[in-house]
């Protein structure tokens, strides 16, 4: 007999079915007993009645710890008092796996637990329906993002995660042993995206892990994260990149909301209606908001929060772009193209959402001589990048792109308190288990 899911039973009144899941609860009340069996789609009430149910089934359930895994065969019956409006009258129950006791973390208890405790026992934590919903949202956003990219002619690619050198600076690199050499975990696919522009791929995107050795113990930083990167060739301006990115975000959130609503997820109602275009705020203007005009340094976390508050309260913009970053701020980003008529400015931009940076990108420098000048200005030796620079020696079109933090988007749209809750098994400065 094929297994059916909890969410399917409402349409199967009178049918004989098999379900499987964790034993969430068992209560015996005189001549009747109720077991609640939970699978990944919800919970089912299993009703046992003395005189009508095999006594061995009562005995089996009475001795089982919560969260044991069982398989139940029975008949679906309508019941106004039961969850989902149906109950399962069992004919057979099989124990598949017995849970140990006591549980280190409650699954359905209303008593809360500290985040560290939850992450230490993550498998149990992930059984909670509210926690699972975060990853249903994540899956819906990933699906929407992929569809939005493909609809615009982007090809999904995979680039190496073991590198000889980094693209974002040596201080945040994770070194690893690579046979007789030293290698590094990829901070981003930046250099390879650009090389693919020279290879004629023209529009690519990648959704893949990236790694930053930043000792930041904040709610918005983790050391292993999912980077959503896009790159486009033959661009005319940074505005072309911004327009493409905002449309992708708009369409992905719209698709995610529709999919979650169809599945009955309560998170669907909390997803915003994303209106485009997002407002553009030049970096110099934002410095004025912060009272630090001409500071020529990047925004701190507190700066970003204040910018988000002003953008939403005074401009009605939860999503927004910060544009025209000064060259002095992006000097270490050797591949960032300087504006031809204003070399003190780049075409680089950030995409923000309610005070959190989601993405950063802009036009890249495609002219080899100017790229080498950028290397020197950043204090980076170009001799360490032979494969990357070869792509520029044999014809490189104008191009640009962005890197987008998927975990941050999930964290913010799910409304959870910490970005670690947006990853199944998060990694940070102190956590390598489970």
Please tell me which residue in 220, 242, 250, 423 is annotated as part of the active site: 220
Q: Which residues contact 200 (CB under 8 A, 6 or more apart)?
A: none
Residue 265 bears catalytic tag: no
Helix axes 386-393, 190-198, angle to 10 degrees: 30
DSSP string, 55-118: HHHHHHHHTPPTT-EEEEEEEEEE-TTSGGGEEEEEEEEEEEEPPPSS-SS-SS-SS---HHHH
Determine which one of 38, 122, 127, 212 is catalytic. Answer: 212
Listing DSSP states for 377-391 in one string gives: HHT--GGG-HHHHHH
In the structure, how many helices (H) and strands (E) does the chain have? Answer: 11, 16
Element (H, E) at 357: strand 356-363
Taking the CA atoms of residue 117, residue 118, residue 124 and residue 126 in that order, the dihedral angle to the nearest 10 degrees is -170
From residue 365, alpha-carbon distances to 87, 231, 267, 335 in Å are 64, 13, 41, 5
- Catalytic residue at 121? no
Query: 281 with 311: CB under 8 angstroms?
Result: yes
- Annotated catalytic residue 68: no
Question: Does an H or E element contain 192, and which?
Answer: helix 190-198
Paired strand residues for 424: none
| CA dihedral (259, 155, 239, 408) positive or negative | positive
From the list 87, 246, 357, 421, the catalytic residue is 357
DSSP code at position 403: E
Q: Is 22 an active-site residue?
A: no
139 by Cβ neighbours in 10 Å (0-12 / 13-18 / 19+) ranks as: middle
Active site residue 212: yes
Catalytic-role residue among 202, 214, 240, 312: 214
What is the DSSP code (8-state) at residue 35?
Answer: E
Q: What is d(CA 85, CA 77) in angstroms, rounded to the nearest whole number? A: 9
Q: Phi first, then psi: give them for residue 82, nearest 5 degrees.
A: -90, 160
Residue 147: active-site member? no
The single residue of 366, 408, 420, 423 carrying the catalytic annotation is 408
Q: Which residue in the block uniquely carries the two structure tokens 């895994």?
A: 69
> Which is the catalytic residue, given 38, 118, 221, 257?
221
38 CB-contact burial (10 Å; exposed 0-12 / middle 13-18 / buried 19+): buried
Q: Residue 240 and residue 367: Cα distance in Å, rounded?
A: 19
Whether 220 is catalytic is yes
Residue among 91, 212, 204 at smallest CA distance from 149: 204
Task: Report the catalytic residues.
Answer: 212, 214, 220-221, 357, 360, 408
């Amino acid at each position: 007999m094929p297994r059916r899911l909890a969410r399917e039973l409402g349409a199967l009144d009178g049918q004989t079915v098999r379900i499987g899941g964790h034993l969430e609860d068992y209560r015996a009340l005189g001549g009747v007993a109720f077991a609640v069996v939970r699978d990944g789609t919800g919970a089912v009430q299993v009703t046992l009645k003395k005189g009508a149910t095999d006594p061995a089934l009562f005995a089996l359930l009475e001795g089982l710890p919560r969260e044991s895994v069982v398989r139940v065969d029975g008949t679906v019956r309508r019941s106004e008092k039961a969850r989902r409006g149906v109950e399962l009258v069992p004919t057979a129950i099989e124990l598949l796996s017995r849970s140990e006791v006591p549980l280190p973390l409650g699954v359905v208890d209303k008593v809360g637990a500290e985040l560290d405790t939850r992450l230490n026992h993550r498998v149990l934590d992930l059984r909670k329906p509210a926690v699972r919903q975060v990853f249903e949202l994540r899956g819906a956003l990933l699906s929407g993002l992929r569809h939005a990219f493909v609809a615009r002619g982007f090809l999904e690619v995979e680039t190496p995660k073991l590198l000889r050198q980094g693209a974002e600076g040596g201080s945040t690199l994770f070194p690893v042993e690579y046979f007789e050499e030293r290698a590094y975990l990829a901070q981003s696919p930046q250099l390879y995206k650009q090389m693919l522009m020279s290879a004629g791929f023209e529009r690519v995107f990648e959704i893949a892990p990236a790694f930053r050795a930043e000792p930041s113990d904040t709610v918005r930083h983790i050391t292993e994260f999912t980077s959503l990167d896009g790159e486009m060739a033959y661009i005319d301006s940074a505005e072309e990149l911004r327009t493409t990115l905002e449309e992708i975000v708009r369409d992905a959130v719209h698709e995610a909301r529709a999919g979650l609503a169809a599945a009955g997820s309560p998170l669907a109602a909390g997803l915003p209606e994303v209106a485009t275009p997002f407002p553009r705020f030049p970096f110099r203007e934002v410095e004025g908001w912060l009272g630090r005009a001409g500071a020529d340094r990047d925004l701190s976390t507190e700066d970003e929060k204040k910018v988000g508050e002003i953008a939403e309260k005074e401009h009605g913009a939860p999503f927004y772009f910060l544009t025209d970053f000064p060259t002095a701020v992006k000097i270490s980003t050797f591949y960032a193209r300087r504006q031809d008529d204003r070399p003190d400015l780049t075409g680089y931009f950030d995409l923000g959402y309610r005070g959190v940076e989601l993405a950063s990108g802009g036009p890249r420098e495609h002219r080899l001589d100017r790229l080498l000048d950028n290397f020197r200005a950043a204090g980076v030796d170009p001799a360490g990048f032979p494969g990357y620079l070869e792509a520029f020696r044999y014809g490189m079109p104008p191009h640009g792109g962005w890197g987008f933090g998927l975990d941050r988007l999930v964290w913010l749209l799910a409304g959870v308190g910490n970005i670690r809750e947006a990853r199944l098994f998060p990694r940070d400065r102190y956590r390598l288990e489970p």
